[in-house]
Amino acid sequence: MSTKDDLLQNIYTAFKNSSKLDKNNIVRGESLEAKMITYYLAPKTWQELDVLALSNYDQRADLSAMTAFLSSEGLRYYLPSFLVFVVLKNKKAGVLIDVLISKLASQPERISASDFSQSQRAVVRGFLQYLKQNFANDVSLCKEIDRALTVWA
């Protein structure tokens, strides 16, 4: 089982060469929220996106809601940022944990394991196993994690 520090290092290593996303492909739709998310995310690489600072700065910042506006490309590109946030915040990441697990388990609705390299898929599996270890007492969450692990096998 990976330690927190090992998992964080694995995330940064596996996703370090991700190509910058075109700002026109970050979100779905033209709503005000989608435009605000594009404005915030467009100048940042996934490594520069400090979701921890965003959530600390604005307690109303619902990162799980942000994922709903991301396009498939946006979700794939910024996924490592959300993984890092969950690892750092752990149980305080709240509903974002459920949202990410749901998105990782429901293929290929928005994000497909086949869109990732072998090393990136291994990191996602490591992330899911880390969550399963940390939420071992939450039976329903562990079932959803197991479903996601099957998808990312």
User: pTM value?
Assistant: 0.89
**Measured distance CA(58)–CA(23) in Å, rounded:** 23
Instruction: Give the pLDDT of residue 94.
Output: 81
Identity of the amino acid at 36 = M
Q: How far is CA 22 from CA 13, 30, 33, in A?
A: 22, 16, 18
Average pLDDT by consecutive 10-residue portion of the chain (153 residues)?
88 93 90 88 86 57 80 92 89 85 79 91 97 93 95 91
The answer to whether the beta carbons of residues 84 and 95 sit under 8 Å apart is no
Buried b (16+ CB within 10 A) or exposed e, 38-70: beebeeeebeebebeeebeeeeeeebbebbbbb
Residue 127: predicted pLDDT: 97
Yes or no: say if 138 and 100 are a contact pair by the CB < 8 Å rule.
no
Phi, psi at 75, each rounded to 5°:
-65, -45
pLDDT for res 84: 93
pLDDT of residue 61: 57
User: What's the pLDDT at 57?
Assistant: 46
